Structure 1
Amino acid sequence: MAEAWPDIPYLPWRDSCAALHLWSQIVGKYRLANTPWMNHSWHATLYVDARGLTTGLVPDGPGIEIAFDFQRHALIGITTDGRSAEFPLGAMSVADFRRQFLDLLAMLGGNPVFNGRPNEVVAPVPFAEDFAERPYDGEAVARFFDACVSVVRVFKRFRTGFLGKVSPVHLFWGSFDLAVTRFSGRPAPLHPGGVPALPDAVTREAYSHEVSSAGFWPGGGGVDYPAFYSYAYPPPPGFSQAIVAPAEAFFHETLGEFLLPYDAVRRAADPEAMLMAFLGSTYRAAADAGKWDVAALECLPGVPGVPRAVR
């Protein structure tokens, strides 16, 4: 049986996580190359499903879906005309993963042309030239997937309490984080850019409007443990000094965002309630400091089978 909030310490599987991060970029860049641009790069993301991570249906060839199956530990491709292909996930180089992925696309009738360089990593090595052998800790990956399932359940519930523009709950393979983002509806100042190995035009389009964004990532990027985060762009005056819940949450000055260690949630008597408190209080800190029109933007969280009341 899967554990709802498993122990997922970052350091023991850091190298496997780095491999999975780069492999997800290869698959994500395939989706990106074949999907019309959607606001804030929502067309490029991956989604948690019953097996692991999926592209959803990519409008390429007959229609292709690529999925990381973290139960069988395989990369699987299926098409709308009944074809399928797969290869096992295991210790291999990024270049080897790319080669096998291109072979899989060929079997499915897919387009093998997509950008060949990683994004949002320091000193990126082109995928085709990254021959370093990478480990694959299947047990750690499976635990990470179980955690993502629980996180997505809470993020999706949090998403229902907003009438304004709000993103899907999705995984950005650039920074390898699950995210859900609320928008005030107002344009934001031009973003300065400067994200490593990411075109400034992409960053500026992503942050074209004011946001309060929350997410989860397994570790890395200056934090050697899995954590939830919440930030605002542009950061309104006083945001970093806001009092948020739970007590274990804090503002990380270097990252410029609130953090809540995953382990605090995992060990809580009611993990979902603790995470909802973090999501709600950090959003409210951004909305209050940024003077959002909360009366027009908010609603009660959704309940299964009950239509939202309309005045």
Structure 2
Amino acid sequence: MTTTTHLSSTDRWLPLPLAAWQDTYATLHLWTQIIGKIRLALAPKMNHWWHSTLYVTPRGLTTGTMPDGSRSFEIAFDFLQHQLLIETSDGIVRTIALAPCSVAAFYRAVMSTLKDMGIEVRIWTMPQEIADPIPFEQDEQHAAYDAESAQRFWQILMQADRLLTDFRARYAGKCSPVHFFWGSFDLAVTRFSGRRAPEHPGGVPHMADWVTREAYSYEVSSCGFWFGGGSIEASFYAYAYPAPGGFKDYPIQPPAAFYSPDMQEFMLPYEAVRQADDPEAMVMAFLQSTYEAAANLAHWDRASLDYQPVVKG
């Protein structure tokens, strides 16, 4: 007989305050940048940098399939076995342990393993969207890896990915995948109105203006989950570009959500979600109401763009 285990909401939504894992966070952020830059270098170029992202899996994060000449390969973080798994379409498999080691050591291990597998790739080794970056091959400073924290990071990502994917399914217009941006270390999904946006002014800290302008070349309503930084704890977030008049004052749900002038986006603290009687309903209310703030104020064609998934009658 098969036994099904049902997790409570508190089991699914695990605590992960910044102070408890900040060193592992910093190291893992840089490790994901190394793998993400490999995908950026090899994957066919797509609009809005969609070819550079990672994806949540039942075991961790993956690049998905990448080309290597006539064959293909994949790199995946496995946070159950705590290993980096590299597999090619011609049957070659290599693993690298995820354990405390410097960014420089991890970079050397990844690049030498790829070379041994016959995969040639060169990446720009300067980290992105990080203050005071150190080239990967020189970074002996960041070397922490707490396995439990890494696993919690992935388990939280799975819950966020599940809800963002459900939200994505309710839109018929152009929409990004639910994907993990290794630069900003967040999970995001973006809806598009179909209209061009005014040129982005740039000025995003630690990001080249030409990168930002491609990302925001069309009008968007974007939402996601961020693990926090500085004095800000983990949160769901939502923003629009360009932000229509009245956006920051639009009434949104739930009451725990607020507009952050510093971040220029709506935020819903993860801890409020964790403590809620119905975390899923709280998050979905936030995603839907912040989308309506962008779409209603900017007069999107919601009759054509919004979608109700087909249910068998």
Q: Do they fold alike, i.e. is TM over 0.5?
A: yes
Tell me if structure 2 keeps the 8 A contact 1:161–1:302: no
Amino acid at match of 1:249: A
Closer/same/farther in 2, CA of residues 243 and 223 from structure 1, 3 Å limit: farther
Q: Distance in 1 between matches of 2:142 and 2:240?
A: 38
In the alignment, structure 1 residue 160 sits paired with structure 2 residue 169: yes
Q: 1:187 corresponds to which residue?
A: 196
Closer/same/farther in 2, CA of residues 302 and 171 from structure 1, 3 Å limit: farther
Q: Distance in 1 between matches of 2:51 and 2:310?
A: 25
Q: Distance in 1 between matches of 2:142 and 2:53?
A: 26
Cα deviation, residue 265, structure 1: 1.1
Closer/same/farther in 2, CA of residues 267 and 17 from structure 1, 3 Å limit: same
Q: Distance in 2 between matches of 1:134 and 1:290?
A: 46
Tell me if structure 2 keeps the 8 A contact 1:119–1:196: no
Cα deviation, residue 281, structure 1: 0.3
Cα deviation, residue 158, structure 1: 0.4
Q: Distance in 1 between matches of 2:111 and 2:95?
A: 11
Cα deviation code 1:168-200 (max 9, x no counterpart): 000000100000000111100101112233222
In the alignment, structure 1 residue 83 sits paired with structure 2 residue 97: no
Q: Distance in 1 between matches of 2:19 and 2:68?
A: 38
Task: Give the secondary-structure state (helix, strand or coil) at the position aligned to 1:154.
Answer: helix
Task: Give the secondary-structure state (helix, strand or coil) at the position aligned to 1:100.
Answer: helix
Q: Which region of structure 1 is more displaced relative to structure 2, 189-198 or 27-36?
A: 189-198
In the alignment, structure 1 residue 258 sits paired with structure 2 residue 258: no
Q: 1:241 corresponds to which residue?
A: 249
Q: Distance in 1 between matches of 2:95 and 2:38?
A: 16
Amino acid at match of 1:247: P
Alignment of 1:45-124 (within 5 A): 45-61=53-69, 62-124=71-133
Closer/same/farther in 2, CA of residues 138 and 302 from structure 1, 3 Å limit: farther
- Give the alignment's TM-score, normalised by structure 2: 0.94
Alignment of 1:272-287 (within 5 A): 272-287=280-295
- Give the alignment's TM-score, normalised by structure 1: 0.94
**Alignment length (residue pairs):** 304
Identity across matched positions, percent: 52
In the alignment, structure 1 residue 172 sits paired with structure 2 residue 181: yes
Q: Distance in 1 between matches of 2:35 and 2:203?
A: 24
Cα deviation, residue 150, structure 1: 1.0
Cα deviation, residue 10, structure 1: 1.6
Q: For 2:211, which of 202, 211, 215 is the aligned residue?
A: 202
Cα deviation, residue 229, structure 1: 0.3
Q: Distance in 1 between matches of 2:54 and 2:166?
A: 19
Q: Distance in 2 between matches of 1:218 and 1:90?
A: 21
**RMSD of aligned residue pairs (Cα, Å):** 1.5
Q: Distance in 2 between matches of 1:133 and 1:44?
A: 23
Tell me if structure 2 keeps the 8 A contact 1:124–1:197: no
Cα deviation, residue 302, structure 1: 5.6
Q: Distance in 2 between matches of 1:164 and 1:120?
A: 29
Q: 2:28 corresponds to which residue?
A: 20
Q: 2:138 corresponds to which residue?
A: 129
Q: 2:232 corresponds to which residue?
A: 224
Q: Distance in 1 between matches of 2:117 and 2:203?
A: 37
Amino acid at match of 1:254: D
Unaligned segments of structure 1, at least 5 residues? none
Tell me if structure 2 keeps the 8 A contact 1:9–1:226: yes
Amino acid at match of 1:20: L
Cα deviation code 1:131-169 (max 9, x no counterpart): 114211110111111111111111111001111100000
Q: Which region of structure 1 is more displaced relative to structure 2, 286-295 or 174-183?
A: 286-295
Cα deviation, residue 301, structure 1: 4.2
Task: Give the secondary-structure state (helix, strand or coil) at the position aligned to 1:183.
Answer: strand
Cα deviation, residue 284, structure 1: 0.3
Amino acid at match of 1:245: Q
Q: Distance in 1 between matches of 2:12 and 2:139?
A: 35
Q: For 1:141, which of 138, 150, 168 is the aligned residue?
A: 150
Tell me if structure 2 keeps the 8 A contact 1:46–1:170: yes
Q: 1:8 corresponds to which residue?
A: 16
Q: Distance in 1 between matches of 2:269 and 2:72?
A: 39
Unaligned segments of structure 2, at least 5 residues? none
Q: Which runs of structure 1 show a deviation greater than 4 angstroms over 4 or more consecutive aligned residues?
A: none
